Structure 1
Amino acid sequence: MQLNSYDDFTPLREIIVGSAANYLSHDRDLTFELFHYDNLTGYGTELANPRLSAGGSGAAESWKIKRRYTEELHEDVETLAATIASLGVTVHRPLPLPPDPAPIAGLGWQAAPTPALNIRDNTLILGDEIIETPPAVRSRYLETRLLAPVFQRYLQAGARWTTMPRPLLTDLSFDLSYARDSMSVRRLEVIEDPQPSPYDVGLEMMIDAAQVLRLGRDLLINIAHENHRMAVDWLERHLEGRYRIHRVNRMADGHIDSMLLAVRPGLFLARNENLRNLLPEELRSWKFLIPPPPDPGDFPVYDDGDLVLTSPYIDLNVLSIDEDTVLVNEDCTGVRKLLEAEGITAIPVRHRHRRLFGGGFHCFTLDTRRDGGCEDYLS
């Protein structure tokens, strides 16, 4: 059990697959609304999500998810884990969230915890190092504790284990410029009315590992606002001499693994051609595979009370087993056909409610051992 992961495409040997057990609701507060801002407001999408009750950003509002959706999500995640294992990959799992977990709390806030499902978000694997990133959503503050038994085994086998400074997550910890610059016509009152706290220390570092595209010794990191920039400053100091960091300005509000993924050296799966201009010069010559626009018929139809958290492009969020084998949502025929035309085996796996739970196959997994090393793919 040896940690070694520098990229998303060399042959996969070990992986952690998240758990959807007891994912019954979303804890909606300022941190949740800000994190999912683009999709909650419908900016750039067709969405018209239900709003939070007016009245400031104090207490969180629990948004229940229909039991059928949670059960089907659990079935699909377990199928994903079994499919990966059937390909000869060792699969590790986090602790499941208990059915009635106690609330978690920080200084001046309380939240219902989230299961360790989208485990790509709060942990960055760089070679032989586990780096827990500073979360931006209160309900996810202790999510990586559900991964601690797996991390402990890697530590005992020789891995390094680092935790970035943890934010206090008061309302005034957040740079609101991205939301305020978005020009959305459906602004969220909860974001417009941040409340002061006796624990305020000013803006704090926050970043998710899903904002990082790993290419051997090079890291492309999306920065949408000051919280992200502060975190990247810390990473640059921590990784000095080991990795080269390339800052990408506002490719998205946060995560980029449904915008741009490296399928193999020289080949990106990308949402659109315009992303090329945001990349370092050395990567602009790579080939871009751009799927056709998503077909609305590929997705379930939800009720007005259902909270949709991703754009229809979530199915670009694929998982590579190696340079010639990729797991793809069985409902997304456009991505499958595009990869197959490139000579890549696209293995279909069911994932029905990806828009309700904010993640695809790349989000649900954390690859811990691949054959690749700290290569220089930019030279």
Structure 2
Amino acid sequence: MRLNSFDDFTALKEVVLGSADGYADRIHDLSFDMFISDNLSGAKGYYPSISEWRPSQERDDRNEPHRLALKKRFLEELIEDVEGIADSFRELGVTVHRPLALDPAATDVTTPAWSASITPPLNCRDNTLILGDEIIETPPTLRDRYFETQFLKPVFMEYFRQGARWTTMPRPMMTDASFDPANLTSAAPNIEVPLDPQASPYDVGLELMIDGANCLRLGRDLIVNISNANHALACDWLERHLEGRFRVHRMHKLTQSHIDSVVIPLRPGTLLIRNERVLDYLPQSLRGWDTIVSPSPSVDDYPQYENDDPIPASPYIDLNVISVDEQTVLVNDACKTLIRTLEDRKFTVVPIRHRHRRLFGGGFHCFTLDTVRAGGAENYLD
């Protein structure tokens, strides 16, 4: 079918589902610390911060791979759960596309300015924004994911052959000087980050960087969460590129990056939100929508890990649901209270297993890129 995706709730026909094959480790660098900085201090005191992974005197060796290697059993279970998601989509009549496999020999990403370990295309929502009939590859915010959209090239090529537009936003040099540290000092003052960014001959100053998951798609309207100068520059580009086709709305500092575990449109007129404070950040026309406030998670909702395994994802990761249509929502089967809450509001909930979502990061919305939905360029905000 031809590429057509304007929202997150009309009938889903085709989807790209990411792959966890080859997910071996997560090495810290400046880009990773900045990306997850709003989760580093935990939530409400219930969750360990990343600074508590190991004693303070050992934090200087945080880049040693063996410190952060993810356990083989957990990876096998993650792969098993992702394949279960694929099966569930197919049972619901959704066509599932998959990325290219990561060659086991491919362990590093290297550019003239830096090198980083490579991760597989699991959270394929992040580096691509689908707007109607256009694929927009977004400028990456994490070095180890710099070439991630390459794994989606066969899928994108097929949509291109069928008539889709295909655009790549400017790629950042991504040196230490490329990042705006404002979100670190203003939103998460107690985090552990590199204190001595290094100069590079490739420095060009602040650059465009943003993920597709910073954006909320509502027909002809695009709401963009902006928490730093990198996001603002990227939004400038989106406004110019989309002028006359989409209305771009700036939303400032709802969260430091992704919003799909904070505010989720389940159907026209209904939002699932983390808490009522979210409404203060939304465009005025959205504040009148019906809201479902998510039940607060507790530490017992998640598997517990030994040996100081890193837990980078937000404790609210299970709000990262995906709708198959305006009545049907895929929800983590461990979230009994959220399931009951949605069922009480007359949604059909499809429980799906995803065990290690906080360890690896990512939920059902993160793992997917919806490429064909029934909806069009509706005026949901008028």
TM-score (norm 1): 0.96
Separation in structure 2 between the aligned mates of residue 110 and residue 157 of structure 1, nearest angstrom? 36
Find the partner of 1:172 among 177, 196, 216. 177
Shift in Å at residue 43 of structure 1?
6.7
Query: Would you say the 8 A contact 1:330–1:350 is kept in 2?
Result: yes
CA distance in 1, matches of 2:356, 2:332: 11
The answer for the alignment partner of 2:38 in structure 1 is 38
Quote the Cα distance in structure 2 between the aligned partners of 1:61 and 1:90.
40
Q: Name the residue aligned to 1:74.
A: 79
In structure 1, runs of 5+ residues without a counterpart are: none
Cα distance in 2 for residues equivalent to 1:31 and 1:312: 21
Matches of 2:59 and 2:200 in 1, distance apart? 21
Please tell me whether the aligned partners of residues 135 and 208 of structure 1 are also in contact (alpha carbons under 8 angstroms). yes
C-alpha distance in structure 2 between counterparts of 1:368 and 1:296, whole Å? 35
One-letter code aligned to 2:221? D
Secondary structure at the residue paired with 1:220? strand
Matched, 1:336 2:339: yes
Rounded to whole Å, the distance in 2 between the matches of 1:135 and 1:298 is 31
Task: Please state how far the C-alpha of 1:41 moved relative to its aligned partner.
Answer: 4.0
Amino acid of the residue matched to residue 128 of structure 1? D
> Paired residue for 1:222?
225
Alignment of 1:121-270 (within 5 A): 121-185=126-190, 187-190=191-194, 192-270=195-273
In 1: Cα distance, 2:129 partner to 2:113 partner: 28
Q: Deviations over 1:207-263 (max 9, x none)?
A: 000000000001111000000000000000000011111111100010000000100
- What is the distance in 2 between the residues matched to 1:241 and 1:218? 11
Counterpart-to-counterpart distance in 2, 1:189 and 1:37: 9
Residue 10 of structure 2 corresponds to residue 5 of structure 1: no
1:41 touches 1:184 (CA, 8 Å); kept in 2?
A: no
> Are 1:8 and 1:263, in contact at CA under 8 Å, matched by a contact in 2?
yes
One-letter identity of the residue aligned with 1:372: G
TM-aligned CA deviation for residue 282 of structure 1: 0.9
Partner AA of 1:159 in structure 2 = A
Q: Give the counterpart letter for 2:60 in structure 1.
A: A
CA RMSD, Structure 1 to Structure 2 (Å): 1.5
Classify the secondary structure of the residue corresponding to 2:364. Answer: coil
Q: Is the 8 A contact 1:17 1:81 kept in 2?
A: yes
1:84 to 80, 83, 89: 89
Indicate the larger mover: 248-257 or 46-55: 46-55
Aligned partners of 1:38 and 1:44 also within 8 Å: no
Asked if the contact 1:29/1:61 (under 8 Å) is kept, the reply is no
Aligned length: 374
Following superposition of structure 1 onto structure 2, how do residues 8-19 of structure 1 map, counting pairs within 5 Å? Answer: 8-19=8-19
Instruction: For residue 355 of structure 1, give the secondary structure of its aligned residue in structure 2.
Output: helix
Aligned to 1:8, the other structure's residue is in SS state coil
- Tell me if structure 2 keeps the 8 A contact 1:5–1:125: yes
Secondary structure in 2 matching 1:261: strand
Q: Offset of 1:304 from its aligned partner?
A: 4.5
Mapped partners of 1:40, 1:132: distance in 2:
28
The letter for the 1-side match of 2:163 is G
Greater Cα offset, 136-145 or 27-36: 27-36
Q: Which amino acid aligns with 1:188?
A: E
2:43/2:315 contact within 8 Å kept: no
Matching residue's letter, 1:220: I
CA drift of 1:83 comes to 0.4
Contact kept, 8 Å, 1:54 with 1:189, in 2: the verdict is no
User: Aligned equivalents of 2:26 and 2:357: distance in 1?
Assistant: 14
Higher deviation after alignment, 72-81 or 42-51: 42-51
Q: Is the 8 A contact 1:41 1:188 kept in 2?
A: no
Q: What letter matches 1:321 in structure 2? A: V
Alignment counterpart, residue 376 of structure 2, candidates 360, 373, 377: 373
Deviation (angstroms), 1:40:
2.9
Cα deviation digits, residues 11-43 of structure 1 (max 9, x gap): 000000000101110121111111111223437
Note the residue ranges of structure 2 that are not aligned, 5 or more in a row. none
How far apart, CA to CA, are the structure 1 residues paired with 2:44 and 2:229? 22
Q: Partner amino acid for 1:48? A: S
- Whole-Å Cα distance in 1 between the matches of residues 64 and 373 of structure 2? 41
Hey, what does 1:289 align to over in structure 2? 292
Query: Cα distance, 1:53 vs. partner?
Result: 4.1
* Cα 1:200–1:97 shift into 2, 3 Å: same
Could you tell me how far apart the structure 2 residues matched to 1:136 and 1:295 are?
A: 29
User: In structure 2, the residue corresponding to 1:27 is in which secondary structure?
Assistant: coil
Q: Structure 1 pair 273/110, CA: closer, same or farther in 2 (3 Å)?
A: same
